[in-house]
Amino acid sequence: MEHLRTPKVENVHLLDRSSGQRRASVGTLYLSATHSIFVEDNPETRKETWVLHSMVNSVEMPSNSPAGSQLILRCKDFRVLQILIPQERDCLDIHASLVRLSRPEKYSELYCLSFNPNVNKEEREESWSFIDLMSDYRRMGVPNNLWVMTAANSEYRVCDTYPSELFVPKSAAPTIITGSSRFRSRGRFPVLSYFHQDTLAAVCRCSQPLSGFSGRCQEDEMMLQAVMRSNPGSDFIYVVDTRPKLNAMANRAAGKGYENEDHYTNIKLQFIGIENIHVMRSSQQKIIDVGEMRSPSMTDFLWGLENSGWLKHIKAILDAGVFIARAVADEGISVLVHCSDGWDRTTQACSVASLLLDPYYRTIRGLMVLIEKDWISFGHKFSHRYAHLDGDPKEVSPVMDQFLECVWQLSEQFPCAFEFNERFLLTIHTHVYSCQYGTFLGNSQRERKELRLPERTHSVWSQLWKDRVDFRNPLFKADLSQSQRVLRPNTTPYCFKMWKGLYSHIDKSMPPCQSPADFLSAMREESQQLEEELTNHQERIAALTGRPIVWEKTEVLKRRTTHLQQRHLGPDPPTSYIQPITGHGQAVALKQANQMALNKEPNLYLPTECHSKLKDHDPDDCSTCSDRESGVADLRSRSSSGGDYAKDPDWE
Amino acid sequence: MEFAELIKTPRVDGVVLHRPFMPTVEGTLCLTGHHLILSSRQDNTEELWLLHSNIDSIEKRFVGSLGSIIVKCKDLRVIQLDIPGMEECLNIASSIEALSTLDSVSLMYPFFYRPMFEVIEDGWNSFLPEDAFKDLESMTDEWRLSEVNKDFSVCPSYPALVAVPKDVNDDTLRKVATFRHSGRFPILSYYHKKNGMVMMRAGQPLTGTNGRRCKEDEKLINATLRPGKRGYIIDTRTINVAQQAKARGGGFESEANYPQWRRIHKAIERANILQESLIKLVEACNDQSHSMDRWLSKLEASNWQTHVKEILTTACLAAQCIDREGASVLVHGTDGTDSTLQVTSLAQIILDPACRTIRGFQSLVEREWLQAGHPFQQRCAQSAYSNSKPRQEAPVFLLFLDCVWQILRQFPCSFEFSESLLVLLFEHAYASQFGTFLGNSAAERTKLSLPEKTVSLWSWVNRPQELERLTNPLYEANSLVIWPSVAPQSLLLWEGVFLRWNRSSKCLDEAYEEMVHIIEYNKELQNKVNSLRRQLAQLETEDPLLKTS
């Protein structure tokens, strides 16, 4: 690889605070075409840390310390790795390589095009057909006598950022569609996003009208009429402009803007006030900084949280979703949602609304469908927003991060309503950035087709589905979501919390024994095993007492995995079971490691025995679980930073 | 009797009760000596029974002849009563005001309350100092139980029996008492079995500006040190506050006179500042019209979370000195009845797994708060809605409970009790039918004959049905020291208390039920499978054919 100057450096110190590490470990740093890999020297653990180049957001080289040269790797999942390299020359080489490798210039350099997870062609193709959008439209009851599929955009003739298959009001003739699309930014005319069978009201989406100060378009006005007519019970529609009103007005000067209520009959215009991608980008940077603060005071922290504005933005997005869901479910009124281009804020608002309206989207598969539909197919610009390629930094913005956070905030309010857990959301977040799978690549369906991604890459959805056991929320109650179809969240400010799982790494050192969710998952799993065992025993007893048939051999049912043993720290086992098997945490780690090993490239500069050592990194986790030091460590950092200890004249 | 004089209108019909997240109830309002009762007289509607002593303040509003009384309770609940008729409304309001601010302790409800439940174990005898000392004796013989305070004359806020170093006699204790604030000479708070280190607590030394010293005091605390070892003195005040205390006769242990001790100052705030903080926090939580910015800035300005962090940090420090540094610790602030107790009790939660059981926690509250002389009656006389200028009120105990909740949330499987016990203690500390939290010290409780005349809260708690409600289904004994994170990101607003009445708890309750269900179902399966296993084993031994196979 031409970008690799120094493939291997020894005696490197690595500090990964985000994984709960407190002291730097010493080891060897390898650079492959796709990953930085750090292998600990400690023969007991040989712990490995793998960092995908495409996950690296920035590589900083602060001033040298006497012990060597420093590198700071900031990752797109907000991990921060500090690396100390003894020789400055090595450090410069590694820095230069990483800077280049973390900023691919062409799609062909991306990891997903070389990633080969040992599956055959059929499996790869199946992975792409795992999510079928048409079946989701059928699930919500379209096409029907109100909404029909239009061929207007086949071969992306009308709008190159929309999918080719779209649903429109039955009464919208092709001329209306093309006329309306000419009057909308980027040709994104009003189409169906979600149809609510209970009330026949619909959530539709588009981009802003090119109205300027006085422009109007008859076809566009007819299009909105058609949307209204496709909801027999109503005599108006809401047009939700998700932008702050001021921004929308400013757009008029550029020949864009919003619907004039004098021209469009029977619409009610509603502004929501979600800020633009630039505001969001800088807000996220601020909340990342809050998460990274070292020993902040409570005041620093709360002030930082307020100053970042992040939760305010999350609330605005959730409020938009709540408004739409209420209109559709409670009032039975259809809603047309737009912002400027209709691919960021509109996408957020529509998908949050769908999540509130339809329990299906709160399942593991359902959330995948929702993201595939509202985000991927409708042309959310993944590659631009998440900087898949080196490009315009002003295009980058955490739009998807905010959606995932809205889902997380909702799951905190409704702990039984979601089939998936936080880990699922965090995993999706990682893959939106990682470029390991082709799913999120490109900026539109058309681009993905041109890149022939289904032939050249793998889809993440089927992989996530395979791992779904790890993503289950043990508290999920499917029957509950039937009775509680529409979620009505409380959006009072005190209901919002900082998403620590994403932005703060303090609790990452939390031992698994103290996670109720994992504990309950393990218990659920164990109950399943017990059920089987129970049936087996019953059959056997029946057989024994009924007919004296000698059975082949009683299979001792092994209790699979569980956190139960892990969390049991006392001397006696909880029950009289015999075999403590590998902990669940280990299994997950092993799986991840295996998966990584599968990704291995032929030119990986890594001694092979490392892979066999992968599982050894777990005993280390166990030791943190026996004794958490955060409280203590915090005290120490206080004393070193000239805290109260130092102020005391009597002290020392 | 005098209650009747205070009740101007005992009964009003057609009163409408408004409570957040609950349907309104129309019914008859009755005032009794100790309760405000609203009953719809329909079988399926819940009645409201509110102790007058739970009422923190009331507001009156009139629209035409319809009056409304807004009742703000010490448990932070706010309800509204619409009362037809201006005169009735005024009468009810003035009656409530009078009944909720009775001065005399002996008129309080616990003296009138007769238990409707069977007392299995008299809580007044559940946690006696002599029993606690028996446990200590089984671990060490370096301490003795002194009766020097048996008539509460040496230290009015101490219990009759206190544990002190064996080699220190009662005369010495009397002398030391004159050198410590309110006579609170250093006594044993906690013995760390793992390494024999101890935590003591006391009032501040009365060094004054001229640096008075007391050889007996030095002797007493040095008696707790191992040869050649040093100890830590944790002063819960900042060095500045401690310096200022000298002018009023107080002070701190100087290095010259206590060379074997290292002193560390922390910054736990005084009572009146904590009370202000509570008022601001509750005000912020109750205003739902806030924008996100305003909410966060109000939360920050209340400083409540800062206090939580500071108290927890200090407790961690004390625990760290004992467990990690292997040193003994003396904790004091000014009078040793507030921040000192927060620190000593939380340090024990961190260090001692026994304190994380239901019974152990009761015992801790009994030892480190009630018998240690935390002035509950003064501190809990008013809560966050009080209009009157606070005198002695302060949420010292509530902050302790908040800190316990923070640790519990971080170690959800290490506590035998659930959040419910903490909320219950908060409620009963402020208003209760039980006598446990009446009075300010053991001496006052003896004088009031509380054990004879009232029922103990512990009698109520330690019954199977109540214990079941308070048990944490996730509990699994954890014999280790647990170190909580004190980083601001790890400390949350205690929603169970501060947002309790401001949001629907339906979904969270459902989640809790589901959790219990998963655990119960698992237990049931285990029992079934175990019994089948036994049955199978038996069948197999009975069946020779099987044996050979």
- Which residues face B373 on adjacent strands? none
Query: What percentage of chain B has pLDDT greater than the value 70?
Result: 98
The Cα–Cα gap between B368 and B189 comes to: 7
Q: What is the largest CA-CA distance in chain B?
A: 94
SS3 for A439?
coil
> Alpha carbon A42 to chain centroid distance?
34
The gap between the terminal CA atoms of chain B, to the nearest Å, is: 86
Across the interface, which of A302, A474, A526 has its CB nearest the CB of B299?
A302
The strand pairing partners of A630, in sequence order, are none
Of the CA atoms within 13 Å of residue B453, those in its CB half-sphere come to 15
pLDDT confidence of residue A640: 32
Contact residues for B527 (Cβ-Cβ < 8 A; gap 6+) = none
Which stretches of chain A drop beneath a pLDDT of 70? 1-2, 20, 481-483, 506-514, 547-652
Using the Cβ of A22 and the Cβ atoms of chain B, whether some distance falls under 8 Å is answered with: no
Nearest Cα of chain A lies from the Cα of B312 at a distance, in angstroms, of 9
Two tokens, residue A142? 């379209």
Nearest to A366 by CA among A124, A138, A133: A133
Please say whether the beta carbons of A50 and A36 come within 8 A: yes
* Tokens, residue A190: 């009003």
Is A339 labeled as catalytic in the residue annotation? yes
CA dist A416 and A207 (Å) reads 35
Q: Which residues contact A56 (CB under 8 A, 6 or more apart)?
A: A36, A73, A74, A75, A76, A98, A101, A102
Closest C-alpha among A342, A339, A334 to residue A238: A334
Strands (E), A318-459: 335-338
Nearest Cβ partner of B263 from A475, A490, A650?
A650
A67-76, B74-83, B535-544: least confident range = B535-544
pLDDT band at B545 (very low <50, low <70, confident <90, very high): low
pLDDT, one tens digit per residue, over A425-436 is 999 999 999 999
Which residue in A has a C-alpha nearest to residue B314's C-alpha? A635
Q: Are A581 and A559 in contact (CB under 8 A)?
A: yes
Q: Which two tokens stand for residue B491?
A: 């400390």
Picking from A497, A534, A540, the nearest residue to B525 by CB comes out as: A534
Q: How far A582 CA lies from chain B's nearest CA (Å)?
A: 20
Nearest to B36, CA basis, from B48, B24, B22? B48
Burial class (CB in 10 A: 0-12, 13-18, 19+), B302: buried
State the Cα angle at A263 between A261 and A265, rounded to 5°.
70
Give the pLDDT confidence score for residue A481 in this predicted structure. Answer: 65
Beta-bridge mates of residue A25 = A14
Q: How far is CA A615 from CA A265, B90, B183, in A?
A: 66, 74, 60
DSSP-derived secondary structure for A74-106? EETTS-EEEEEES-HHHHHHHHHHHHHHTS--S
> What is the full DSSP assignment across A258-294?
---TTTSTTEEEEE-----HHHHHHHHHHHHHHHH-S
C-alpha gyration radius of chain B = 26
Q: What is the mean pLDDT of the segment spanning B380-404?
A: 92
Peptide bond just before B259 cis, omega within 30 deg: no
Any idea which of A594-598, B179-183, B258-262 has the lowest mean pLDDT? A594-598
Angstrom distances, CA of residue B54 to CA of B33, B36, B399: 13, 10, 19
Coil vs helix vs strand at B2: helix
**Residue A135 CA: distances (Å) to CA of A130, A132, A139, A445, A466:** 11, 6, 6, 18, 21
User: Quick count: other Cβ atoms within 10 Å of Cβ A273?
Assistant: 18
pLDDT of residue A292: 87
Distance from CA of A302 to the nearest CA of B (A): 6
Dist CA A556 CA A562 (whole Å): 17
Q: Which of B72, B119, B114 is nearest to B97 (CA)?
A: B72
> Do A71 and A97 touch, CB atoms closer than 8 A?
no
How many other CB atoms sit within 10 Å of the CB of residue A95? 18
Tell which A residues from 450 to 479 touch B, by Cβ distance under 8 Å: 474-475, 477
Closest to A401 (Cα-Cα) out of A369, A430, A434: A430
Separation between Cα atoms, residue B374 and residue A519, nearest integer Å = 38
B23-71: pLDDT as tens digits: 899 999 999 999 999 998 777 777 899 999 999 999 999 988 889 999 9
What average pLDDT does range B5-34 have in this prediction? 91
Strand partners, B144: B164
Question: pTM of this prediction?
Answer: 0.89
B388: Cβ–Cβ under 8 A, 6 or more apart, which residues? B382
Q: Give contacts of A497 with chain B, Cβ < 8 Å.
A: 492
A76 to chain B, minimum CA–CA distance in Å? 21
The 10 Å Cβ neighbour count of residue A106 is: 9
φ, ψ dihedrals at A303, nearest 5°: -65, -45
Region B255-259: mean pLDDT is 95
The pLDDT value given to residue A6: 80
| pLDDT value of position A18 | 74
ipTM: 0.94
pLDDT attached to residue A615: 31
Tokens of A353: 């609304």
For the cut 90, the answer to whether the pLDDT of residue B349 exceeds it is: yes
Q: Measured at the alpha carbon of residue A165, what is the angle toward residues A164 and A171, in degrees to the nearest 5?
A: 120
The answer to whether the beta carbons of residues B16 and B25 sit under 8 Å apart is yes
Q: Say what the pLDDT of residue A20 is.
A: 67
Beta carbons of B507 and A492 less than 8 Å apart:
no
- Using a CB-CB distance cutoff of 8 angstroms, which residues of chain A are in contact with residue B493? 494
User: How many contacts (CB atoms, under 8 Å) link A and B?
Assistant: 233
pLDDT of residue B536: 87
Check if A540 contacts B (Cβ < 8 Å): yes
pLDDT at residue A576, as a whole number: 25
Q: Among candidates B387, B427, B379, which has minimal Cα distance to B70?
A: B387
Q: Is A506 on the interface with B (CB under 8 A)?
A: yes
User: Greatest CA span in chain A, whole angstroms?
Assistant: 92
**CB-based contact B292 A493, cutoff 8 Å:** yes
Enter the tokens of residue A536.
Answer: 């087996």
> What is the C-alpha separation between B185 and B208, in angstroms, rounded?
17
C-alpha distance from residue B396 to each of B319, B332, B337 (Å): 20, 15, 10
Give the orientation angle of helix B396-410 with respect to helix B271-286, to 10 degrees.
Answer: 60
Considering the candidates A75, A112, A204, A339, report the single residue annotated as catalytic: A339
**Minimal Cβ distance to A569: which of B265, B478, B525:** B478
Task: Determine contact: A629 vs chain B, CB below 8 A.
Answer: yes
Structural contact between residues A320 and A338, judged by C-beta atoms closer than 8 angstroms: no
| CB-CB contact of A563 with A585 (8 Å) | yes
Average pLDDT over every residue of B253-279: 95
